[in-house]
Structure 1
Amino acid sequence: MGTTILIVDDSSFIVDGLTAILSRKGYSPVSAAGGDECLTILKTVIPDLILLDIMMEPIDGWETLEKIRKNPVTKDIPVLMFSAKKITPEEAKEHSMNIDDFVSKPVNPLQLLDSIQRIFSRRNELSLERQAAQNKGLDSKIIDEYALLRKNIEVDRNLLVVLRASSGLDIGREVSSEDVNAIRTLEDKIHQSEHRLREIKELLGKIPDPSKES
């Protein structure tokens, strides 16, 4: 069985379309018609990635995501959120730590596949970097911080693009002070994360690798 992707959406039309796209690319899609069914499936199936819609009833995507992250068995599964709903600054701030990427509807197949591949590539790279850091004796807490920063920076950059586009800032539209403040806050967060990431990379470069010592 290939890489399993769980599609969670209450629209059968969208599920069928995404299933066809993913199947053609060699993935093994599994579908859930909503948050409740998603959580039920996760009791017996652990997918490699969850593609999770936001606008669902009675449990929306954010609540479903919260339950996934609270479960020790499923908390580390990468989750790619997607929605036709405009993501709000509050949602971006509250949930960016818990998602692995965000794609807007209508879903562009190439964009979706690129995002999926980016998530898997990032996880593979972080696994190799984690092993290299452990070989150099770097503290596990620093390694965890590095991995989280890598992921968060990529997610926040994507959310920044989404917020700028939805606010109309990039096309010269008048933007509310709330949206401006949210965009600036996210930009500051990205800059701070990038600064800390550079510090950790410098630290990693200064620690000798015991496996290479004679």
Structure 2
Amino acid sequence: MDTTILIVDDSQFIVDGLAAILSRKGYSPIMAHGGDECLRILKSAIPDLILLDIMMEPMDGWETLEKIKGDPDTREIPVLMFSAKKITPAEAKEHSLSIDDFVSKPVNPAQLIESIQRIFSRRNDIKEELLLAEGKGVDPSLIKEYGALRKSIEVDRNLLVVLRSAVGRDQAGRTPSPDEMAAVRALEEKVASSERRIRELQELLARTAPPAGQQE
């Protein structure tokens, strides 16, 4: 089965260019020229991934994302955001749980394909790990938490790189504002906390005995 990717951007030039890149790599692109068209397409077709621009009119990418995640039929579709606009600390905090990755414009083809492959690979790895945990009789709530953490850690790490660049912490001669620094520290602390928790869960999963009748 072909892997379909819905490209959403209000620029015909960018949509055509991204579609050509994805086609050369064996993906089947679907093209939408704005948020409204994206939502119309999703009523009849469910892609394997959505590549969504932030800066669009009249419906921007964040509003489109909110509608996608608010619909039970589409909320599980992975979304890769892209934009020439730097993500603000407030946007990183608000949307980090809803997106699967972020790439900057102008889009580097190799980086884009790497990000897409990473999203699919991560999802497959999580499914396999969760099936194994279910087979061991692990508490379903812990399984759900583990899957969510696996995704959020990778997304937050990538957002942290983008956010550090956006606030200028990696730029010589620029002093970030106190609010910007606080946002970066908050995301750093979130990543560290998530990493500690997932190590705890990994140890728990490793100690869990297999179901009765399967013990040696």
Post-superposition Cα deviations, 1:95-114, rounded to whole Å, max 9, x if no partner, equal 00000000111111111100
Shift of 1:150: 0.5
Does 1:108 find its partner at 2:121? no
CA distance in 1, matches of 2:214, 2:131: 14
Query: What residue identity is the alignment partner of 1:51?
Result: L
Residue 215 of structure 2 is matched in structure 1 by: 213
Residue 19 of structure 1 is matched in structure 2 by: 19
Report runs of 4+ in structure 1 exceeding 4 Å deviation: none
CA distance in 1, matches of 2:171, 2:63: 33
Shift of 1:171: 2.7
Residue 145 of structure 1 is matched in structure 2 by: 145
Q: Would you say how many aligned residue pairs link Structure 1 and Structure 2?
A: 214
Query: What residue identity is the alignment partner of 2:179?
Result: E
Post-superposition Cα deviations, 1:53-100, rounded to whole Å, max 9, x if no partner, equal 011111111111111111111010000000111110000000000000
Shift of 1:212: 3.6
Q: What does residue range 55-134 of structure 1 map to in structure 2 within 5 Å?
A: 55-134=55-134
- Contiguous gaps of at least 5 residues in structure 1: none
Query: What residue identity is the alignment partner of 1:157?
Result: R
CA distance in 2, matches of 1:141, 1:63: 30
Give TM-score, length-normalised by structure 2.
0.97
Query: What residue identity is the alignment partner of 1:89?
Result: P
SS at match of 1:129: helix
CA distance in 1, matches of 2:38, 2:126: 27
Give TM-score, length-normalised by structure 1.
0.98
Residue 40 of structure 2 is matched in structure 1 by: 40
CA distance in 1, matches of 2:214, 2:82: 45
Residue 199 of structure 1 is matched in structure 2 by: 200
Residue 54 of structure 1 is matched in structure 2 by: 54
